[in-house]
A and B are shown apart, each in its own frame.
Chain A
Amino acid sequence: MPLTTMILKMGEGLGNTCSIFILTLLFSLPLGLLVALLRMSKSKIISGITRFFISILRGTPLMLQLIAVTYGPYYLFGLTVSRNKLIPVVIAFAINYAAYFAEIYRGGIESIPQGQYEAAKVLGYSKFQTFFRIILPQVIKRIMPSVTNEIVTLVKDTSLAFTVSFQEMFTIGKQIANSQTSFMPFLVAGVFYYIMNAVVDFGMGKVENKLDYYK
């Protein structure tokens, strides 16, 4: 197979790769914040349960979670595996990444000095206003480097969707590699991931610069 055909074929899978990437971020970033707040709940039961779920999600392979979410409904309830695997793939990714983001948010939130809460309270801000106007903007700035790290990892992790035969770029590359007995598709995949992460790095660098207006 000529290299250009290979690149074009794998390129067709990039749409799906990007779908996993973008949808995962879209769901896991807010979900992670919610999980962080539950984890920090004053109720020992709520924080305990949340802690347990985070430990499961961080303590088992994402690959396993992908298989569980995609095929679990079939084995457990006899439901047919949906033809569009994007849904189970994004669910698995979003939940897994939410667990990691939750711990990043928690670290950020706990690093904000108590005095910020006290100043807001004395000035009459509601708890909601205090969190969203005063605390969260400072948290976001502080956690930016860790979040960038996770996002870079996510770009590469999208390749795990091959385990459930979701037709994203790496899955297609692997199929070509098998049928052509060629190593070339893996090299092409590597270049694709590298380019995508270069874009991510550039974008996140811009965001970090934008937040650099204060210390």
Chain B
Amino acid sequence: MAQSKRAIVTGGTRGIGRAIVKELASRSCCGVLFSDVAFVYNSCEECVEEIRQEIKSPETRIFALKADASSYEDAEATVAEAIQKLGGVDILVNNAGITRDNLLLRMTPEEFDTVINVNLRSVYNYTRAVIRHMIKQRYGRIVNISSVVGLIGNPGQANYAASKAGIIGFTKSAAREFASRGITVNAVAPGFIDTEMTRQLNEKQRETLIQNIPLKRLGTPEDVARVVAFLCSDDAEYITGQVINVDGGMVMS
């Protein structure tokens, strides 16, 4: 069996993050067995046990670490703990994200800052915390979860869109900075994925959105997780600085 990898995933208890944790922990293909995952979470205590139950591979070690992704100090401590438990780190998936939707006319500074801090600042926090280790071992895979909203915008989501577009700029800069050290950095931009986050929309909004998706269905968290797992695998070693849309064809660039 190929060597196992060690992954840290932020925002791992729900939605896309949860699917990523499960995919990385269970997947055994492409010459890589992803065995050990430390995920960072800030809400949903009961989800932690559920995830453990859902992951069927007994050899996989799963660690749950509670932290506020927007806190630099939390990130340093959490990554140090994760590295100690995993015995190193090969993969970082920056997935933690929230929405505070509001029309710009009503959006408060607090709503703007909270979203930027959790969604964008966290990407800096965790990348900064793992990069030393990855540079030293001359290997690393970083995947940042952006959004098609970061590419095309969305009314009521100026804060969210700004954070997700920011992630793309961050991804490309980091990809250039660390390419010479065997570290790839990519972003995945999900479209309309069926998670708690998008269930806030009403039936009519959902119908309208689906009309604009060529593949005529919502995405699943697993649709996204499989692409993330691919980008983390050695099969994707020649891909860096890219934004891969997983959106049923909603946005074609």
**B is a partner of A:** no
